[in-house]
Structure 1
Amino acid sequence: MSDSRFDVLTIGNAIVDIIAHAEDDFLVREHIVKGAMNLIDAERAEHLYSVMGPAVETSGGSAGNTAAGIASLGGRAAYFGKVSN
């Protein structure tokens, strides 16, 4: 078997996770399902940023998170992802 640069190659969507505190009435008002992933477009993101409190942005998506986890354990990981169209 030949040497390879990476132990793992992941392929997936480049997703940004937004983590913020929100009351249940805010979720209902904004039609957000509690505890679920909600994919949104730029227009919806701008609206939510304008009506919600402080938030933390972090990289997300299962492929990206897997690559980061492998790298944090000492593995050599690569990630292919797509941003926008």
Structure 2
Amino acid sequence: MADAKFDVLTIGNAIVDVFAKVDDAFLENEGMDKSIMHLVDAERSEYLYSRLPGTPQHISGGSCCNTAVGVSSLGGNGAFIGKVAEDDLGTIYRKDLTKAGVFYNTPTLIHGTSTARSMIVITPDGERTMNTYLGACQEL
């Protein structure tokens, strides 16, 4: 049997997780139900992203991406296929995967929706409320 180039190849949603600390009033003001995941459209995603307080933390993710990163962190050869757009979040995504040692060579979406993001707001009690926009990853 020929040697495989990768130990694991994953295919899935390329989503940038965006973490921000908020208070309960933020959830109420933005009409969010606490501790659940809301699917949002492009307009709502852009609006919420612009309203996040402080300097949000960006971490590239999606379960398949996370698997490839995990394999690479353990010394294996991980690869990921997933679509990002030609935008700031897409650039962050590519840099994160390269830094983690994951092979990622999916062509960028040039015209169309923006890179997927999940805005995860965390209240002082540690509860997470997610607002996920699937964006470009649906164009794979």
TM-score range, shorter-chain basis?
Answer: 0.7 to 0.9
**Alpha-carbon distance in 2 for matches of 1:67, 1:37:** 24
CA distance in 1, matches of 2:32, 2:75: 37
Please state how far the C-alpha of 1:33 moved relative to its aligned partner.
4.1
Q: Structure 2 CA distance, aligned partners of 1:10 and 1:45?
A: 26
1:81 aligned partner: 82
Matching residue's letter, 1:47: Y
Note the residue ranges of structure 2 that are not aligned, 5 or more in a row: 85-135
Taking a change above 3 Å as real, the CA distance of residues 72 and 14 of structure 1, as seen in their structure-2 partners, is same
Q: CA RMSD in A?
A: 1.8
Superposition deviation, residue 26 in structure 1:
1.2
What are structure 1's unaligned runs of at least 5 residues? none
Task: Flag the structure with more relative contact order, 1 or 2, with Cα contacts below 8 A and sequence separation at least 6.
Answer: 1
1:18–1:52 CA distance, 2 compared to 1 (3 A): same
Local SS of the residue matching 2:17: strand
- 1:57 aligned counterpart, secondary structure: strand
Residue correspondences, number: 85
TM-score (normalised: structure 2): 0.53
Query: Could you tell me the TM-score, scaled by structure 1's length?
Result: 0.82
